[in-house]
Structure 1
């Protein structure tokens, strides 16, 4: 197995969207001190690691993914000292925290970009990807044009205000396309490693890397980008060997070859992640019309390619996609979490998913959220003012709350042993008690359909997981004995000779 920080063995992550988590000063926007005040809640749930979305100086045209200063915390969240205090408080609780690194682009307000727009050459001229003429755009990319005295068009990665940093082209085809070993791309990578060095030396435990597979341009097979990240991994192994790096790539074989410790399966790409939770007929819907086979086939393919190299992670959701509770409800959510928390790879729980927070329909876009805005509403802590998120007047809240009278709250679910949160807490405790269920445990699929069955193993421990999201009882051939049941959601699995009778909307784990 490739080397990785030991704390990743049983890491269970909780994703915090800082502006929506907890507001400590009544301005309607979440902040570092608010997060600190809720760390015990996260630990009580059972999570021992945090991924926090970007928290740096920004004009917030894309919710902080448009960074104007990598070295300064955004004042609306607090100071650098407040952020370092957050690191310290996380560590006091035996937990770890990852910051969100955005290496592919900056805000157009970043001093680097302002310097790169100047006609005279300077140290930032080649920090971004520019064509030689304002009349030439880069085929396949958006661009900024006619904005400066410099002649040229600047590539953008997504939104118009996000100029692309220059890591070079794997196969340069135009005079302005610099190779990956040119001085400009090398300086850009050095600058990004300096950013990582700055925050790691102050207590950050690593980074989740935004759009990690997109840095080198004209790199169809990812070879140039893989080589770039291998340099980063060598730097980290030398200076910060306990730091973790997690990629938003969606192709684990490439990400792990590049030196990442884990990669997300997420909404875009070939993983069939959406088949599980977010499509017309999700597999985890009780209607029982979904199809899990394409997901399993792709997962097995990735698992074989990355065997003993790193982690493939399946998140409950994130800030870019619909809430889990938009398509799943009631016990469907409990069954889905039984899957998420018994699969290999580090689990990631998006804030509020553990209580079944809903997608808020009909919202206007906030900070570039557009249709994603409904998944970014404030955390619902209790039934006090603004659901306990903030004491600000309701019109000043970062994003409107779920207006429903029956919106779920953390307080109510903590008091209810039958709630979704209580079931998630129970599942996390089960996972942490059994090495076979943890991040590096092996997996072998036994049956892909209704039910879904897989073996998890580590050392001498072998566990069988049986999950049936359907509202109908299912039967499947299974000639072996089940063993001892160590977890059961809803009714118990029965064995009738060589046939298993799997109850509707159930999940079970057996020790073999």
Structure 2
């Protein structure tokens, strides 16, 4: 494998609106990010991905971009951004921006020109289609609910939107539109950006006929994701995108990809793939409901374990994926992947250890390093998430009471990850001197950065040690390029794996064992290899000798020698 500059890096996602507010308006800003760079450096972060900060009406929290070349005034100025780039470079850190190019905002100049002249050139930047017998051109349901087709005022045409109606999809069959996008991307890379996280990118390829599909809901519509699964040829568009932009700058790209055909994995992230990496969402898909959030199952540990192992075994033959337990679109990992008895400091450290030491690029999300958890939502009016409101209504329509709908949907609300970062136990968690744009999780007095910086056994201090171990000169090669092999697979409640550098064999060489007890009770495991050293442990009572004694919610990282004869 050709080595890349980003292979051994640890990344951190910032949701700027909720990270740190310096001007008291209740919204996080770029100066807030600048002021926390040393905090992130001490944590061990190399790459910072910043969710959208472009000019936007914020219908979908900035994923509806009205001007790709401007910074939203809520976050600051272009001068602030340039200062952020410069300050990050001083610390040998790399900045990624979100790249949202499947769609733009309906306030974007291109779309406004398209509406003004539905027969003109800019209408072809989008998908304008005539209706059928007074109805929309097709029966696709958008990701946010309702038809994908919205009437073009004063005409018999409709425009297509896979997400909200304020987010019209861009037509990637239009060469002029593509060139405008390429120019914009290269403009940012020329500024010194290290790369992009690329939003919903597999959606850019459409069957231009938009054929109807069999309805899959009482609304008579079919989920657009099903059309994506049937569409061929997206790879050609992605390769063209890469060659015209990212490849010229050795940029790091991490793509959000759902509904990809499995046989395309190497094409996406292989040696010369379209992207540097893609997120591994396989575990997150385990809690998808058949009809929505209201009937989504809890995570089953055995199924989760098997899913993670299968993903790792498949991927190591192809390339690197990006490993996450949470992001801005998902609930908090501690609240999702851990049983209630494990939603404490020990369990949080255990989950983090497993995630960060898998093969792949680790991505942390803001607050993960202190163990932030899902918020308690009392009523729908507290929520800002467009998906939460849609799913809440879906649950009501399915016959749930308001209380029942609120309870089940709150588990998956994207607002869980968007509550303000908990910097201290002071008012508003130290996030702002004003009124926060979204409620602060009430547990900020128990879970916050300031307290954890003062406690050597805190989750934050543990994450610092964990990242330092992964990046240490002694173990960086093993954790970056080492193979993954499951261990103790039949042992109930145990998630364990070896990381071994190429060239080692079952009988020769050194390897690292990562072993976690997701159960409540202590377990004793026979050791397959002699333990040379305990590299990391989250609980003092964990012990490795002839056998491995592991407390409930305990995790250990062990340096192992050759197999015992």
* Band the TM-score falls in, shorter-chain normalisation: 0.7 to 0.9
Q: 1:161 maps to which residue?
A: 166
1:321 aligns with 2:330: yes
Rounded Cα–Cα distance in structure 1 between residues aligned with 2:123 and 2:191: 30
Distance 1:78 1:423, change over 3 A: same
1:265 aligns with 2:280: yes
1:447 aligns with 2:494: no
Distance 1:318 1:127, change over 3 A: same
Rounded Cα–Cα distance in structure 2 between residues aligned with 1:456 and 1:483: 15
Deviation at 1:148, TM superposition (A): 2.6
Q: 2:103 maps to which residue?
A: 105
Deviation at 1:355, TM superposition (A): 1.0
Q: 2:386 maps to which residue?
A: 368
Q: 2:66 maps to which residue?
A: 68
Distance 1:166 1:281, change over 3 A: closer
Moved more, 150-159 or 135-144: 135-144
| Unpaired runs of at least 5, structure 2 | 142-146, 208-227, 290-295, 389-412, 504-509, 561-565
Partner SS for 2:157: coil
Partner SS for 1:10: coil
Q: Does the 8 Å CA contact 1:230/1:259 hold for their aligned counterparts? A: yes
Rounded Cα–Cα distance in structure 1 between residues aligned with 2:231 and 2:256: 14
Residue of 188, 192, 212 corresponding to 2:181: 192
Residue of 306, 328, 331 corresponding to 1:293: 306
Task: Give the length in aligned residue pairs.
Answer: 476
Deviation at 1:237, TM superposition (A): 5.5
Distance 1:367 1:446, change over 3 A: closer
Q: 1:145 maps to which residue?
A: 150
Q: Does the 8 Å CA contact 1:247/1:255 hold for their aligned counterparts? A: no
What TM-score do you get using the length of structure 2 for normalisation? Answer: 0.78
Moved more, 202-211 or 243-252: 243-252
Residue of 268, 275, 283 corresponding to 1:255: 268
Q: 1:347 maps to which residue?
A: 362
Partner SS for 2:484: strand
Rounded Cα–Cα distance in structure 2 between residues aligned with 1:444 and 1:279: 28
Deviation at 1:508, TM superposition (A): 1.7
Rounded Cα–Cα distance in structure 2 between residues aligned with 1:367 and 1:273: 19
For 1:163-203, what per-residue CA distance to the aligned partner results, in whole angstroms no more than 9, with x for missing partners? Answer: 111124xxxxxxxxxxxxxxx2x233222222211111112
Partner SS for 2:513: strand
Residue of 470, 474, 491 corresponding to 1:431: 470
What TM-score do you get using the length of structure 1 for normalisation? Answer: 0.86
Q: 1:492 maps to which residue?
A: 542
Q: 2:402 maps to which residue?
A: none
| Unpaired runs of at least 5, structure 1 | 169-183, 284-288
Distance 1:232 1:9, change over 3 A: same
Q: 1:174 maps to which residue?
A: none
Distance 1:130 1:493, change over 3 A: farther
Residue of 415, 434, 455 corresponding to 2:454: 415
Rounded Cα–Cα distance in structure 2 between residues aligned with 1:107 and 1:442: 43
Rounded Cα–Cα distance in structure 2 between residues aligned with 1:73 and 1:79: 6
Deviation at 1:146, TM superposition (A): 2.9
Residue of 187, 190, 197 corresponding to 1:201: 190
In terms of fraction of residues, the more helix-rich structure is: 2
Deviation at 1:273, TM superposition (A): 8.5
Q: Does the 8 Å CA contact 1:29/1:76 hold for their aligned counterparts? A: yes
Q: Does the 8 Å CA contact 1:118/1:148 hold for their aligned counterparts? A: no
Rounded Cα–Cα distance in structure 2 between residues aligned with 1:509 and 1:333: 15
Rounded Cα–Cα distance in structure 1 between residues aligned with 2:55 and 2:360: 32
Residue of 470, 482, 487 corresponding to 2:519: 470
Q: Does the 8 Å CA contact 1:436/1:442 hold for their aligned counterparts? A: no
Deviation at 1:151, TM superposition (A): 3.7
Deviation at 1:120, TM superposition (A): 5.5
Moved more, 60-69 or 484-493: 484-493
Rounded Cα–Cα distance in structure 2 between residues aligned with 1:290 and 1:269: 11
For 1:83-125, what per-residue CA distance to the aligned partner results, in whole angstroms no more than 9, with x for missing partners? Answer: 1211111111110111001111111111111112234543312
Partner SS for 2:471: helix
RMSD: 2.6
Q: 1:457 maps to which residue?
A: 500
For 1:186-225, what per-residue CA distance to the aligned partner results, in whole angstroms no more than 9, with x for missing partners? Answer: 2332222222111111121100001122110245366422
Distance 1:81 1:479, change over 3 A: closer
Deviation at 1:493, TM superposition (A): 4.1
